[in-house]
Amino acid sequence: MPASFTIIGGGIAGLTTAIALQRSGIESTIFEAAPAIKAIGAGLALSANALKAFNRLEMVKAVTEQGRLLDLFTVYDEKGKPITRVDSRVLGEKYGIGNLTIHRAALHALLHSKIDPSVIHLNKRLTSLDQKADHVVLSFDDGSTHTTNFLVAADGVHSAVRSYLLPGALPRYAGYTCWRAVIDNSGLQLRETSETWGQKGRFGITPLAGNKIYWYACINGPQNDPRFRQYKVSDLLKHFGEFHAPIPVILQQTKDEDLIWSDITDLKPLRRFAYGNIVLTGDAAHATTPNMGQGGCQAIEDAVVLADELRDASDVPAAFRRFEQRRLKRTHAIVNTSRIVGKVAQWENKWLMGMRDFMFRQLPRSVNERQMKALFEVDFE
Ligand SMILES: Cc1cc2nc3c(=O)[nH]c(=O)nc-3n(C[C@H](O)[C@H](O)[C@H](O)COP(=O)(O)OP(=O)(O)OC[C@H]3O[C@@H](n4cnc5c(N)ncnc54)[C@H](O)[C@@H]3O)c2cc1C
């Protein structure tokens, strides 16, 4: 009998891993806690590195059709004066592949459509596991159990599998909290992707396919603040109402019920992702703050690398370790850089903000390009 593979979590990491494994000739079973495979959240940026991974899965055309190619990305100050600008088109032309933005629901639906529905088990929250030398026993909140030879943990930043292996590795709060929503762009007709760094917070705007806009707003504050839980659009207007156009109008056009709120967290880089017959992937392994738009992209890269290492592997734990070796350095660099970018972008001190904006304005375009190039370069083509 062939060895059995189980994936915990039907998010971007779990679904993409199932697709990639299938292409390597490995059938897997997915257990997902939610009653449906559905994305929570609004929009998502998929950089060229993620598109290269989708290219490996022969899905790049389908993903691109659901997305919107990103051209310019500009950072403004709150008065609307540019601080820095990256031209994705130039990079796209140079490296043959661009960046795009996509509605999370569209990406999820596409990933879901590529997997045999009979291997996805919903309403199955993993509550505990028991790792043995040659198998793992999984227990779920409905009282059922499942035994597997190999386990891929793709259960997100609050991973139950990681808690079992590393009880001390808890998500850490980044110091700011975030609201986001998708609204109609018909009246606004915005085309530019931008982020605005102001004293009272940070506001991002990303046009999506289908004439929609995804926006996000981050403000500094304590974790899990009950005040923020109650925030409505009118509260956000108190922070961002004085920001340059079209930010106040975007907020005015957002309905309270469409607001999604969450504190921003990440995971201090782990030393290992592979633990014998269990491997951690996606946010369970290397959750990062969203400042570089790379969390989902790294989960997609993980899927391709893991499937590469598992193809024809006779020793699966060794393949898990090779996956770990290929993924540790890159994901650590992203987690650390993204955390710093977030801190700097959220500065509230006027003097520091002035220095920051001045320095960014002096940076030659080649510096931005070099950073983007490093992100685009994956160790698979
Ligand atoms: C505000 C914000 C903006 C972001 N923007 C971007 C962006 O532009 N680009 C980008 O690439 N990334 C972005 N990210 C990061 C991205 O959302 C995550 O990195 C990505 O969703 C991780 O996917 P995942 O599958 O590892 O985890 P998740 O998406 O968290 O999926 C985990 C899945 O596991 C399930 N699960 C959890 N626990 C259990 C359990 N015990 N048993 C069974 N199932 C379980 C969950 O229900 C869920 O379906 C952003 C994140 C945030 C917070």
Region 198-204 average pLDDT = 96
**Residue 370 pLDDT exceeds 80:** no
Region 359-372 average pLDDT = 79
Cβ(11) – ligand 1 distance below 6 Å:
yes
Which pLDDT score, from 0 to 100, does residue 172 have? 97
Distance CA 221, CA 58 (A): 43
- For atom 29 of ligand 1, which residue has the closest CA? 11
Mutate to test the pocket of ligand 1, among 7, 32, 223 (most ligand atoms within 8 A of CB): 32
Distance 218 CA to ligand 1 centre (A): 18
The runs of H, that is alpha helices, within the chain are 12-23, 48-56, 60-66, 88-95, 104-113, 160-165, 226-229, 233-240, 247-252, 282-286, 295-310, 316-345, 350-362, 365-376
pLDDT-derived band at 332 (thresholds 50, 70, 90) equals very high
Distance 365 CA to ligand 1 centre (A): 32
Six token digits for residue 332: 């650590």
Q: Find where tokens 């994305």 sit.
A: 39
Cβ(34) – ligand 1 distance below 6 Å:
yes
Whether 40 contacts 296, CB under 8 Å:
no
Which pLDDT score, from 0 to 100, does residue 209 have? 93
Mutate to test the pocket of ligand 1, among 15, 44, 112, 195 (most ligand atoms within 8 A of CB): 44
Which backbone phi and psi does 41 adopt, to 5 degrees? 130, -175
Rounded to the nearest integer, the mean pLDDT of the chain is 94
pLDDT-derived band at 70 (thresholds 50, 70, 90) equals confident
**Residue 368 pLDDT exceeds 90:** no
**Residue 324 pLDDT exceeds 90:** yes
Q: What digits encode the pLDDT tens for the residues 4-59? A: 999 999 999 999 999 999 999 999 999 999 999 988 778 899 999 999 999 999 99
Q: What share of the chain is helix, strand, coil (3-state, %, to 5)?
A: 40, 25, 35
Region 238-249 average pLDDT = 97
Q: What digits encode the pLDDT tens for the residues 84-141? A: 988 877 767 776 678 899 999 999 999 999 999 999 999 999 999 999 999 999 999 9
Domains of the chain, residue spans: 5-68+102-171+267-345
| Maximum CA extent, the chain | 66
Q: Given CATH 3.30.450.20, say whether it is the number of domain 5-68+102-171+267-345.
A: no
Greater model confidence, 145 or 368 = 145
Distance CA 173, CA 268 (A): 10
Distance 81 CA to ligand 1 centre (A): 33
Cβ(45) – ligand 1 distance below 6 Å:
yes
Cβ(12) – ligand 1 distance below 6 Å:
yes
Q: What digits encode the pLDDT tens for the residues 147-162? A: 999 999 999 999 999 9
DSSP one-letter code for 179? E
Report the atom number in ligand 1 closest to the C-alpha of 284. 26
Region 327-333 average pLDDT = 97
Report pTM.
0.96
Which backbone phi and psi does 49 adopt, to 5 degrees? -65, -40
Which pLDDT score, from 0 to 100, does residue 93 have? 72
pLDDT-derived band at 276 (thresholds 50, 70, 90) equals very high
Which backbone phi and psi does 262 adopt, to 5 degrees? -155, 150
Which pLDDT score, from 0 to 100, does residue 366 have? 77
Region 334-340 average pLDDT = 96
Report percent pLDDT > 90 for the chain: 83
Which regions of 112-192 does DSSP assign to beta strands (E)?
120-121, 126-131, 136-140, 145-148, 150-153, 172-184
Which residues fall within 8 angstroms of residue 87, CB to CB, at 6 or more apart?
Answer: 71, 72, 365
Which pLDDT score, from 0 to 100, does residue 95 have? 65
| Amino acid making up residue 86 | V
Which residues fall within 8 angstroms of residue 15, CB to CB, at 6 or more apart?
Answer: 30, 37, 108, 111, 112, 114, 115
**Residue 204 pLDDT exceeds 90:** yes
Distance CA 212, CA 273 (A): 37
